Copies of this chain bind each other. A is one copy, B any other.
Amino acid sequence: MANIKDVAERAGVSVATVSRVLNGNSPVAETRERVLAAVKELGYRPNNVARALRTARTGTLGLVISDLTNPFFTELADAVEDAARGLGYSLVIGNAGERPAQQDDYIRTLLDRRIDGLLVSSAGTGSAMLGEVVASGTPLVLLDRTVPGIDAPCVRADGRAALTDLAAHLAALGRRRPAIIVAPAGTPTGDERLERFRTALADHGIALPDERVGAAPDLQPSGGRRVMRDFLDLPEPPDAVLATDNLMALGAMDELRARGLRVPDDVALVVYDDVPWFAHTDPPLTAIAQPTRDLGRAAVQTLLARIEGRPAPSVLLPAHLVPRRSCGEPPTP
């Protein structure tokens, strides 16, 4: 493949001139044309590796996602990729598969590749490697999940308003025994959703006792199904269930169907994350929709601010309730 020296020779100028023409610094008519002609004839493309070495900028961002096969994160990754490309950056995606060790592995690799900035939706609770990222000076932005003790802005959705609306929605429909399926204990996101849901319900005089709070062992359908099974085996099973992740909701639906229970007649079901699929289930599921694409865009913008040394505060974007038929009310058209 032709390099800058070949172009310089062909155009009869020095490599410095070629570089200047291509980078828009102090170009001039006659020489410029010769250089551009040579570039075209040789099909020259600058070597980004060499450029990155010299400029210490790779033009690449890293994204470590907790579980790429989870549609919520797929859409998030897609949005991030869109935004990054729009700003001239490439994106290296690493999939942690909810395994902290693999996440650390990936972060290490990305640092070695000298990416310009890093986005992480952290699997598990903490991570020694995240501390190293901060220490290394690589701009870092957390996505969707906060990590205690890490000094980096976090971009995520604020579900408080949506959970408040949901509590009102359920109360209005006469549901009195709500339940919630949360992520494995100790994750900040899960704890927050639980607390907020509980207080919002309390405002309507509805209790959320611990027996109707189920922590799934993992963010998978099987985990959701197991929790739902326990709920249904209670002496007083719930009449409404909120699954705080879309995959867990799938498992919950399976268990309901296996027992011949109907949604919403027997149990109302609400899912956190409004992935397209849930509009196609029977019945369509009421959902708490996070502004996924906006989150991705905001994350990239925040990261870019950090890269350029501008101040970059955390971002909270509101989630909102999307009522469908799974709680009993016909959708408001």
Interface residues in chain A, defined as those with a beta carbon under 8 Å from any beta carbon in chain B: 1, 45-50, 52-53, 58, 60, 68-69, 71, 74-75, 77-78, 81-82, 85, 90-95, 105-106, 109-114, 136-137, 221, 250, 253-254, 257, 276-277, 280-282
Would you call A92 and B95 a contact (CB within 8 A)? no
**Interfacial chain B residues near A46, Cβ < 8 Å:** 112
A110–B254 Cα distance when bound, in Å, is 42
**Interfacial chain B residues near A48, Cβ < 8 Å:** 112-114
A23–B275 Cα distance when bound, in Å, is 47
Would you call A90 and B113 a contact (CB within 8 A)? yes
Chosen A-B contacts, 11 in total, with CB atoms closer than 8 Å, are A48-B113, A49-B58, A49-B113, A68-B77, A81-B95, A92-B92, A221-B276, A250-B277, A253-B280, A257-B282, A282-B282
Which residue of B is nearest A62, CB measured? B90
A46–B95 Cα distance when bound, in Å, is 23
Which residue of B is nearest A50, CB measured? B53
**Interfacial chain B residues near A45, Cβ < 8 Å:** 111-112
Would you call B93 and A81 a contact (CB within 8 A)? yes
Known: A53-B53, A114-B49, A282-B257. A74 touches B68 (CB 8 A): yes
Q: Choose one: B50, B93, B254; the contact of A91 (CB below 8 Å).
A: B93
**Interfacial chain B residues near A75, Cβ < 8 Å:** 69
Which residue of B is nearest A138, CB measured? B1
**Interfacial chain B residues near A69, Cβ < 8 Å:** 71, 74-75, 78
A137–B43 Cα distance when bound, in Å, is 14
Other A-B contacts than A81-B95, A92-B92, A257-B282, 8 sampled, CB-CB below 8 A, are A45-B111, A45-B112, A49-B113, A53-B53, A60-B113, A69-B78, A250-B280, A281-B282
A151 to chain B, nearest CB (A): 19
Would you call B221 and A280 a contact (CB within 8 A)? yes
A99–B309 Cα distance when bound, in Å, is 35
A109–B254 Cα distance when bound, in Å, is 44
A113–B81 Cα distance when bound, in Å, is 17
**Interfacial chain B residues near A53, Cβ < 8 Å:** 47, 49-50, 53
**Interfacial chain B residues near A280, Cβ < 8 Å:** 221, 250, 253-254
Would you call B91 and A1 a contact (CB within 8 A)? no
**Interfacial chain B residues near A114, Cβ < 8 Å:** 47-49
A273 to chain B, nearest CB (A): 14
Would you call A95 and B113 a contact (CB within 8 A)? no
Known: A58-B49, A250-B280. A136 touches B1 (CB 8 A): yes
Which residue of B is nearest A59, CB measured? B113
Which residue of B is nearest A253, CB measured? B280
Known: A49-B114, A114-B48. A109 touches B81 (CB 8 A): no
Which residue of B is nearest A47, CB measured? B114
